[in-house]
Amino acid sequence: MTRAVRFLPEALEDLIETQRWYASREPGLGQAFAEAIAAAVERIAQDPATFPCVHGAVRRLVVRRFPYAVYFREVGDDVLVLAVHGRQDPRRWQGRG
């Protein structure tokens, strides 16, 4: 069963900010980052329980090709993305949702 995936506004801002940063570094890199995140979200939607818990009930999927991870938790039948996070201070996202 594919789950519905929702993003906290802060997680969506993480995604947009990072995509813009990569786009400013090299043509096409921002798009490649967005596609890597889309693939990660699709994997999460398919079977969120396959990814490890890293902070209470919060799970993590490490993104391929980029040094980022998608942090999420299951909420009923849905998945809530809390952060798209790199190597920044984890306290930045741990208080979300």
Query: 53-55 and 4-7: which strand pairing?
Result: unpaired
What would the pLDDT profile of 24-49 be if each residue is shown by its tens digit?
999 999 999 999 999 999 999 999 99
Q: How far is residue 86's CA from residue 75's CA, in Å, rounded to a whole number?
A: 23
Name the pTM for this structure: 0.87
| Superfamily per CATH, domain 4-94 | RelE-like (3.30.2310.20)
Give just the sign of the alpha carbon dihedral 11, 12, 13, 14. positive
- Residue 13: predicted pLDDT: 94
- Residue 10: pLDDT over 80: yes
- Residue 91: predicted pLDDT: 60
What would the pLDDT profile of 74-97 be if each residue is shown by its tens digit?
999 999 999 998 865 556 656 656
Domain-by-domain residue ranges, the chain?
4-94
